[in-house]
Structures are given as structure tokens and as C-alpha cells.
Chain A
Amino acid sequence: DVKVTQSSRYLVKRTGEKVFLECVQDMDHENMFWYRQDPGLGLRLIYFSYDVKMKEKGDIPEGYSVSREKKERFSLILESASTNQTSMYLCASRTGAAHEQYFGPGTRLTVT
């Protein structure tokens, strides 16, 4: 059974804190993605990675960075959290140009 796991389901952080969101997939997928999901806006792509140590900006990278040191793990970093980063964060992975992206359950982050 394929699996994408995210380190936390719920997270509450204070403004200015550094936040790490971790994602792990067990399918040996090359491609991994971080999205944020907001009501009425759907999913917006923050960053993605095609391979270890490679990263590409998505549509809304400002205020975020990522790290991919190992194939199975893709981390999203908020260097200095702000209230407008309160959102649901979804990680996904996919092999090559396959049609299906496998999503994790999401991390609901609240920044106060």
C-alpha cells in the first residue's frame, strides 16, 4: 500500500518562529511536491523536486524554502512564520510523468 506521511496533522506556531514540515514517501518516487490548500483557492504549488538535492519554485514560493537530502524525504521550511501562512499544507509524490500524484493527509498549520 503506497504511502505519503507528514510529520504532524496539526501544528500551532508563533509569528517569527522557524517551522519545519516533513514529508516521507515509501514508493521510491523521484518527484515530490508541496502545496498549500486554502478555501476557495484550491491547491497552490509552493515548491517541487525532481530528484535528490534538486528543487524548483512553484507558483507561490515566497516565504518558504525546501530541502531534499534523501529521495524519500522532502521538507518544507518556513524561515520566519507569519499569520498569512496559516493554511493546510499537502505533500505529494509521483513517479516520472505518471498520472497519479499520491498525497499525504496534510498538516494544518496555525500561526498566531
Chain B
Amino acid sequence: GEDVEQSLFLSVREGDSSVINCTYTDSSSTYLYWYKQEPGAGLQLLTYIFSNMDMKQDQRLTVLLNKKDKHLSLRIADTQTGDSAIYFCAEREGGQNFVFGPGTRLSVLP
């Protein structure tokens, strides 16, 4: 079945860039997503990319998609303490349901 993999932990220093990686198995995925979960809260959509794109930029966030390798990454420039959260990669084929990865816990050190 469909599978989405992420590393579970990432630590960076405040002001550095963070890169969170994700791999997926379903080559027919139409959209790929990044969600953010802050402590004690539900998930919030950060950004998404259509599968025929290879890059999308939105302020401090850059999403890169390598469709051949089924690899998605989220880069956060100038990482701040408020960026500390769990980041989930998700895919959707075009139907109703998302498949989420296990989440990467980002810790930002002062």
C-alpha cells in the first residue's frame, strides 16, 4: 500500500535553515502536503505542491519535489523558536484521503 517515510527528529540552531525530508511510494500521488502540529494543537496546513511542479516557495518555506526519486523536502529559512513543532508530510492521489508520514519533530536551539 501507500507509505510515507520521514526521519523522526531534527535539531537546528536558531537562524539556521532547516530541511525536513520525506519519501513516498505512491507514484500516482497528485498532491503532496506539509502540515505543522504545534504542542497541544491539531495539524495546520503549511503548504502543498502539485505533482507536476518541482519547486514552490512561500516566504520562508521552500518545497522541493523530486518525482523520479519520490522525495519531498521542506526547507525553512532563518528558523525561529516558534518553528519548533512536528511536521507531517502527506500525499493524496486525487481521492478523498490523505496518507500521512510519521512526522518529524523539529527542535530549534537558541
Could you tell me which A residues sit within 8 Å of B by CB distance? 4, 31, 33, 35, 40-45, 48, 50, 58, 90, 92, 97, 99-106
- B45 in the interface (beta carbon within 8 A): yes
Could you tell me which B residues sit within 8 Å of A by CB distance? 4, 8, 31, 33, 40-45, 48, 88, 94, 96-98, 100-103
A31:B96 contact, CB within 8 angstroms? yes
A99:B33 contact, CB within 8 angstroms? yes
B92 to A, closest residue via Cβ: A99
Secondary structure type dominating chain B contacts: loop
A40:B8 contact, CB within 8 angstroms? yes
Q: Given A50-B96, A99-B33, A105–B41 Cβ distance below 8 Å? A: yes
A104:B42 contact, CB within 8 angstroms? yes
Q: Which residues of A contact B31 (CB under 8 A)?
A: 99
A40:B102 contact, CB within 8 angstroms? yes
Q: Which residues of B contact A41 (CB under 8 A)?
A: 102
